[in-house]
Structure 1
Amino acid sequence: MANTVFCAKYKQEMEGLDEPPFDSELGQKVYKTVSKKAWNEWLERQKMLLNEYRLQPWTPQAQEFLVEQMNDFFYGSGGELPKEYVAPEH
């Protein structure tokens, strides 16, 4: 049976993740409050942030920054894009 959550980003019942994305309290929070759709959007945003800011994801500073951005993306204002970011044309 699919996991259904009230998505923090979309403010509606949606299909949730199959399992917590990481083994922590934050991972459990995301599992219980973030939809698959919102999580996949976050993964794309995270890639963009890693590239635009040239972050090294194994460093504590980058990890802390990404957690802050993720919290804002799901539970805050949605997160700001880097000033220099230009969206790709499709």
Structure 2
Amino acid sequence: MTRMVNCIVLGREAEGLERLTYPGDLGKRIYETVSKEAWQQWLRQQTILINEYRLSPINPKDRKFLEEEMDKFFFGTGATKIDNYKPV
């Protein structure tokens, strides 16, 4: 049976994540309130951030930045706008 959540990003009920996708309290909040569709939106945004800012997920400073951006994306002001970014 599909798990449904009231998605904080989409503003409607949608299919929830199948498992925790991130550790800790932030991961629990995401699991409880973010849909699969919204998680995919975050993954696209995260890829843009990694590429545009040349981040390395193994660098602790970059990981902290991505975690802060994830928190803003889901529970704060939304995605960070990147100057001069033009999707291909």
Correspondence 1:21 to 2:21: yes
Task: Return the letter of the residue paired with 1:57.
Answer: P
Matching of residues 41-80 of structure 1 within 5 Å: 41-80=41-80
Correspondence 1:35 to 2:26: no
The farther-off stretch of 78-87 and 26-35 is: 78-87
Correspondence 1:9 to 2:22: no
User: What TM-score does the superposition give when structure 1 sets the normalisation length?
Assistant: 0.91
DSSP 3-state at the match of 1:72: helix
1:23 is displaced (CA, Å) by 3.0
Structure 2 CA distance for aligned equivalents of residues 40 and 15 of structure 1: 12
DSSP 3-state at the match of 1:2: coil
Q: Which runs of 4+ in 1 moved over 4 A?
A: none
1:75 is displaced (CA, Å) by 1.1
Task: Return the letter of the residue paired with 2:11.
Answer: K
Q: Quote the RMSD (CA, aligned, Å).
A: 1.0
Structure 1 CA distance for aligned equivalents of residues 85 and 73 of structure 2: 17
Sequence identity of aligned pairs in percent?
41
Structure 2 CA distance for aligned equivalents of residues 22 and 80 of structure 1: 20
Structure 2 CA distance for aligned equivalents of residues 52 and 28 of structure 1: 28
Task: Return the letter of the residue paired with 1:11.
Answer: G
Instruction: List alignment gaps of at least 5 residues for structure 2.
Output: none
